[in-house]
A and B are shown apart, each in its own frame.
Chain A
Amino acid sequence: MNPKLTRRRFIKGVIASGAAATSTTIWYTANGQSRPAGAVERMIRININGQMRNVDVAPQETLASTLRYKLGLTGTKLGCNRGECGACTVLVDDIPSYACSILTHSVKNMRVESVEGLEAANGDLHPVQQAFVDELSPQCGYCTPGQVMSAVGLLRSNPNPTREEARQAMAGNICRCGSYDSYLNGVMRAAQIG
């Protein structure tokens, strides 16, 4: 996790926005449409996958909600919506971060990358994506975008990790199918083909 984007800061942000957030009300689409905007500016610009996007964001809205339901970037998955599983992992200023646990307003001046931003313009897969295909790393695939983003974040900060370093770096992403070994094979292959 980005040390700047801790759970504590997330909670503080919700409180500061004047919204009464609960675990079941912080994430849904268009949830701000029926309540006053409060003190927080709603229409903001955020850098998503290298593009500045204008988006109407409620004060208590999470980045996962914005990506999925405002911007149509449904590659970011919600497995738990409470910072346990990592299916919603995106990169914020190159650091793997749980999009379910980040307020969108807090990333206004940061670079956000989701799985949709990795392919080259010509359609070539990112080396991590290609390695995951070659190693048949995914099983059900629901956690895969998050695994991809954690691996991309790792290889940016450490292009030649040991298997143990990769294991530690990927530990925030749960795979219920148990495909960890296959994902690690993919990470190590991606490091080789970099």
Chain B
Amino acid sequence: MAYMHIGKDFVPPDVPGKVTGRIKYAEDYARDGMVYARLLTSPVPHGRVVNIDASAALAMEGVFGILTADDVYPDGEPQSPSLKVLTNEPTLMGEPILAVAAIDEKTAEDAIAAISLTIERLPFVLDPLDSLSEGGANAYNGGNTFIFREGFAEEKWTADQVASFRSGNEPTAEAQQSWEYGDLAAGFAAADFVHETTFSTAGYPHMSMEPRSAMAYWENGKCFLHGTSQSLSAIAEPMAAIVGVPLEDFVFINEATGGGFGQRARAGSIPSMAIPAKLSQKINRPVMMRVTREEEFTIGGARQGLQGWLKVGFKSDGSMSAMDMYCISDNGGKGGGGDANSAAAGVSALYQTEAMRFRNTSIGTNTGHRGAQRGPGENQIMAIMAPIMDKAAESLGLDRLEIRKLNAAQNGDVSGPRSEPFTSAYMPEALEMGAAQFDWEGKKGRARQTNGSKVRGLGIGQGYHNAGRSGMDGIVRLMPSGRLQIHNGVGNLGTYSYASTSRAAAEVLKMAWENCDVVTGRTDRHLPITSPQDGSNSIFTNTRTCFGAAQDLLAKMKEIAAMDFGGDVADYDVDGVRVHQIADNTVGMTYAEVAQRGMELGGKFSGESDLPEELNTLTALSVSRLAGSALMGIYHDPSHSNNPPGFTVTFTEIELDKETGKFEILDLVTIAECGTVVHPQGVANQLRGGAVWGIGLSVLERHLYDPQNGLPASSGFWQSKIPTYLDTPAEIGTGWVDLPDPENPVGARGIGEPSMGAVSAALNAAISDALGGHMFDAAPVTTDMIINHIAGVSEDATPLAQNNFRG
């Protein structure tokens, strides 16, 4: 289909501000009379505050006030493992206990040093299996796990059960969570190749470049909060609740966000933004709270680590007949997540497993705040699965590409325990495109070729994430100036989806992009609700809402034209400037004129009546404040059917030096299968960025904690090493299948998360290939693990270790 905007590159309106430094992040704002907050954080990984004596601090010149958990939670802290604003029951080293506001940060720090904190040190634990073992410490005061709707609980295995699991055997304890489909026993009975192994994948911090600083002030009873978030309008209502202010009196300001990657999508994962809001309310001054890199590490989120066992069977033709997976999920000291469940569902989706069983138990540790991180679960497990796919292919005498094509998801396929169909799926096409662009046929013969100490390895990876939601709202306004204002509540976290989804509205109205304004950045600009921006959903979700709102506006434009010029609405069309009769395009009016006419008519035309009944609370509030200001298009998006997938494929070739354990990525091509591509440069950026993240997962990033004191040893950019220019290829090949999805009006689905999983999978497969098929069954595979393997040294002194070295 020929589009005017969809599939075309453009300059998102915030990009000039990013290259000039003019765009403002939360920490760049200032207000007259602003004071500064600093945090007193927990000095122990698990404890209980017994007493706080702040009298000396509060008597200091320049100190304005203190905020404690007792101020925030006068009725007691919520009994859940979720991150609190402040806490008297820390389960993380560095968790915020109180905040002090002062004339400057030095004074605030001096005041904190003058506070006498009495804290009871409690037992802590760093590895879920240590906590599971009889007599092991519990991460939380009420146990070592949290069961939804039931509360804290204690889960213990016998020492023998834990030892058996660490030794490589299937866990025998009953799991907290499970699902199953198909005939598992029959699947394994039909298998000609069966592989069984334990595996581990590491947790590691999100480490967005922008620390989660926030500034707040109150005016006329309203709270204005400059914060950081992946989402914009989706944050408003829950954040207002955390601050304790009615939605109509809360303004969230968030022009730009310096990275999110899953942990700034929801208010519950960034409750620290409420600290300056509540301090400001208490002392009646604007409060800036700058968050340091160390604090960002502690409360900024981390991927869940997995300790697992799996058994997978393949028939002689290469089809995956059965998969059995059991995971222990590291829930950390705060939060939790569904990585293991997503991992299993991802295997089902990518490999079309005929029969499958999934079991999981989640256990807390006194390590990072866990939650969703880019492709949670799927991206870890694909790094484990890719070498297994290669081993199956080798054992069954199949080409590595062919076994993947044989199991690939395509139109009409289903996945998961509910056998949910895909909205569309073109994985075979993606595999073929990637193979051609990489020249798999030409290069595959180079696998395991040696040159002195160096050896080549090739890898193919695949990624998946369900990438689209619905049920949100859209608002567009045609102004008396003739300009189109597209109100978009999508957060600005670097994907540019706030702008690219808006182009669906311009497309409907055939408007030149320069005549459109994207209205975003702060909630008092009256934004519609969006889904929290996680799960790669924005492109799918918000092209639907922008398209729908523009369709509503278009219908109203035609209705006004028919009212004024006669005939039926079907007799009219638009051309980007005028609404006119199809038969005689001289009969009609300009967009400016129809907007003016709509305001004169009022009622449904200007948002004053006949609103969609299902509008979400925030959207209804926004519409009520915009009513009468323009000719308005207002839309509530109904639910869609089926599962919109985001798929990726990566091919890579590496050269590994067996003397150093290091390797160089010689070539890396990564392909998106995400429906119609809305913004090619944006998709390319997601593929390239996902590739960098995939490299981090595969070989670099992991939590490390000091086992004696529970001190984090990876609180900076270098200890849990984020890939740099020198860790990544100088060029990354990209491409996309670009076939439309029927459940989206412009055919689009999301891609941000699976762009990472395919690369982590391909890289682990290539490392395994270079080492003659050796499987580490772990991510990351670090240089020391490689060199230890080559040297014949076991790196598994503590098998399945989490938050520490394995050896």
User: Nearest Cβ in chain A — how far from B644, in angstroms?
Assistant: 23
- In the complex the two chains form, is B19's CB within 8 Å of A181's CB? no
Please indicate the chain A residues that have their CB under 8 angstroms from the CB of B577 in the complex.
none
The 0/1 profile, CB within 8 Å of A marked 1, for residues 9-49 of chain B is: 10110111111111111011000000010100000000000
Complex Cα gap A171–B725 (Å): 5
User: Is A29 in contact with chain B by the CB < 8 A criterion?
Assistant: yes
Complex Cα gap A29–B692 (Å): 35
User: Is A13 in contact with chain B by the CB < 8 A criterion?
Assistant: no
User: Is A116 in contact with chain B by the CB < 8 A criterion?
Assistant: yes
- In the complex the two chains form, is B293's CB within 8 Å of A82's CB? yes
Complex Cα gap A168–B730 (Å): 10
User: Is B681 in contact with chain A by the CB < 8 A criterion?
Assistant: yes
Secondary structure of the A contact surface, majority rule: loop
Please indicate the chain A residues that have their CB under 8 angstroms from the CB of B495 in the complex.
139
Complex Cα gap A83–B738 (Å): 42
Pick from A78, A85, A119, A140: contact of B256, CB under 8 Å: A140
Pick from B9, B20, B38, B293: contact of A75, CB under 8 Å: B20
Complex Cα gap A164–B731 (Å): 10
Binding site for B on A (CB under 8 A): 24-25, 27-31, 33-35, 68, 73-82, 84-85, 87, 114-116, 118-119, 125, 128-129, 132-133, 135-145, 148, 163-164, 167-168, 170-171, 173-182, 184
Q: Which residue of B lies closest to A132 (CB)?
A: B19
User: Is B395 in contact with chain A by the CB < 8 A criterion?
Assistant: no
Complex Cα gap A115–B494 (Å): 19
- In the complex the two chains form, is A140's CB within 8 Å of B16's CB? no
- In the complex the two chains form, is A34's CB within 8 Å of B494's CB? no
- In the complex the two chains form, is B693's CB within 8 Å of A178's CB? yes
Q: With A24-B109, A25-B109 in contact, is A141–B20 under 8 Å at CB?
A: no
Q: With A115-B20, A115-B21, A132-B19 in contact, is A141–B725 under 8 Å at CB?
A: no
Q: With A74-B28, A141-B23, A178-B690 in contact, is A82–B716 under 8 Å at CB?
A: yes
Name B471-521 residues within 8 Å CB distance of A. 493-496
Binding site for A on B (CB under 8 A): 9, 11-12, 14-25, 27-28, 36, 38, 61-62, 103-107, 109, 207-211, 256-261, 290, 292-293, 493-496, 681-682, 684-685, 688-693, 716-718, 722-726, 728-732
Complex Cα gap A34–B722 (Å): 38
Please indicate the chain B residues that have their CB under 8 angstroms from the CB of A140 in the complex.
208-210, 256-260, 493-494
- In the complex the two chains form, is B256's CB within 8 Å of A181's CB? no
- Identify the 10 closest CB pairs spanning chains A and B, nearest first: A75-B21, A178-B692, A142-B258, A28-B105, A141-B18, A140-B494, A139-B494, A178-B689, A74-B28, A115-B21
Please indicate the chain A residues that have their CB under 8 angstroms from the CB of B717 in the complex.
79-80, 84-85, 174
Complex Cα gap A107–B569 (Å): 70
Pick from A31, A115, A148, A176: contact of B722, CB under 8 Å: A176
- In the complex the two chains form, is A85's CB within 8 Å of B105's CB? no
Q: With A80-B716, A82-B293 in contact, is A180–B728 under 8 Å at CB?
A: yes
Q: Which residue of A lies closest to B259 (CB)?
A: A140
Most chain A beta carbons < 10 A, residue from B103, B258, B261, B725? B725
Question: 9 extra interchain contacts, Cβ-Cβ under 8 A, other than A34-B106, A79-B209, A181-B731?
Answer: A81-B293, A87-B209, A138-B18, A144-B21, A164-B730, A173-B725, A176-B209, A178-B690, A182-B688
